[in-house]
Every structure is written in C-alpha cells, then in structure tokens.
Amino acid sequence: MNDKSLLAIKHGRVMLPLSLLMGVLTALRLASDELVVQQIFGIGRMLIGFILVLYALDSIVQLVGLCDDRLLLSSPIYRWKLTTLSASILGMYLLLATLIGMVPDVMHEGYDVAMLAPDLISYVVSVITGLGLMVMIAYMVKNISSRTTLRISAWLMYIATTGLLAYGSIKFARHYVSDLLWMIGATNVAEIVNVYAGMMPITLLNVSFELSTQYLFCAINFAIGCIFWMVGWMLSKKRNNYLEVR
C-alpha cells in the first residue's frame, strides 16, 4: 500500500462518514421544503463543515508539528512531499463534502447557475490558502518541545492570522464601497457576494459588480496562499524537520 492510499484511508475514516451524513441531510432537504427541514439542513451543514475543517487543520498540526503519524513519517519520500500529499487529500475530502452540501442550493429556483463556477473556485482557493497557512504555522512552531503548547500556539496563530486577513479584506472592500455591509459566513442569496479570507467565509452586501468582486478577492486569497506555501516550503528546509526518536 502506497502513501497516497494510507493517507486516503486514514483521513477517510473520519471525513467520509461526515460526508455521508452531509449526503443524508442533503437528501432530506431535497425531499422536503418545510421550514424545520431547512433549519436542520442549514445547521447540520454548518456543523459538519466546521468539524471537517477542524479535523483537516489539526491533521496538519499532528503530521508536521507533532510528528504523530510515525508510519507515514517513516516513508522514504521527501517530508515536504508527504505534507503536500496529505494536504491535497484533506482538500479533496473537504471539496467532496462541500459539493454534496451545495446540491440543494444549486437546485433551488432562485439560484443563479452562473455563480456556481466562481463559488467553487473561491472555495477551492480558500482551502488551498487555509491549509497552506496551517502548514506554514506548523513548521514555525515545530521547535516547541511541549506538545500541548505547540498545538495551542499553532491554533492561536492560525486564528489570529485568519482574523487579520478578514479585517484586511473588509477594509479593502470598504475602500471601494463606503456603505458596505458584511457578515461572517456564506449564503445563497442572489444579491450578495461570498468571498473568503483564508478559509473564513465572508458575505458582502451592497456590492456592485458581484462577479468581478468575487474573482478579485479570489485572486488576492490565492496570492496570499502562494506566499503561505512558499514560506512553509522554505521552513521545511530547516534541520528540525525530522522524526524524533523516543
């Protein structure tokens, strides 16, 4: 069994059941338009998405920072390649669950199908940037000897950096739209724009040229993500990128 299969099985044991649960909620939503069903689907989709993201990010901390997966880390392939492979598989599982959860929105009468491509592209870019940020941070805190301190430090740095990205995104948008309204999260209402700051979804209201705005934020998020991955790659060259013998 190769490294790709091991990673797919390892992460799939957690992420596939959650994706299956997302499919059950989606089927329930498609079968009924009752308000209670819509509420259950909305809350369920949000919670499942949140748990999947937490698992994906913490998996990177465990692999890169804590060196927990000793079987994978014993692989002869280059450590950076193993990190990018793990992140790729995590990203594909995240995308799978998101696609399943988007089905009711796409089939809704008020949904603009033309927005499907930019919505998907924006989400894929957010996953690349968000995972890249945690990879970079995991390498930055790798020298911390205490496992608990390392994990807490990684998460605090991730939350702080994402918050700064969100603040910068909103300030940037307000530079062009003085009466901008915004909120954390994403929705499928036609008169808004869904953008991302890292992996954090942000809804912008009162924005003209919705499509161009979404692609602009997507491009900025992608550029930031490239920086994160580049810094992570540079940090992976340090001599502390090894498997500690215990």
Determine the Cα–Cα distance for residues 50 and 195; give it in Å rounded to an integer: 17
Its sign, for the CA torsion 129, 134, 138, 141, is positive
What's the burial of 75, exposed, middle or buried (CB within 10 Å: 0-12/13-18/19+)? middle
Its sign, for the CA torsion 223, 207, 103, 113, is negative
**Which parts of the chain register pLDDT below 50?**
242-246
- Report the 10 Å Cβ neighbour count for 130: 28
What is the tens place of the pLDDT at every residue in 77-92? 788 888 999 999 999 9
Distances (CA, A) of 58 to 5, 39, 101, 120: 20, 29, 22, 24
Determine the Cα–Cα distance for residues 220 and 226; give it in Å rounded to an integer: 10
What is the tens place of the pLDDT at every residue in 86-115? 999 999 999 999 999 988 877 775 566 666
Tokens of 109: 């009468």
Q: pTM for the whole thing?
A: 0.86
What's the burial of 108, exposed, middle or buried (CB within 10 Å: 0-12/13-18/19+)? exposed
- Identify the pLDDT of residue 163: 92
Closest CA to 73 of 3, 11, 138, 12: 3
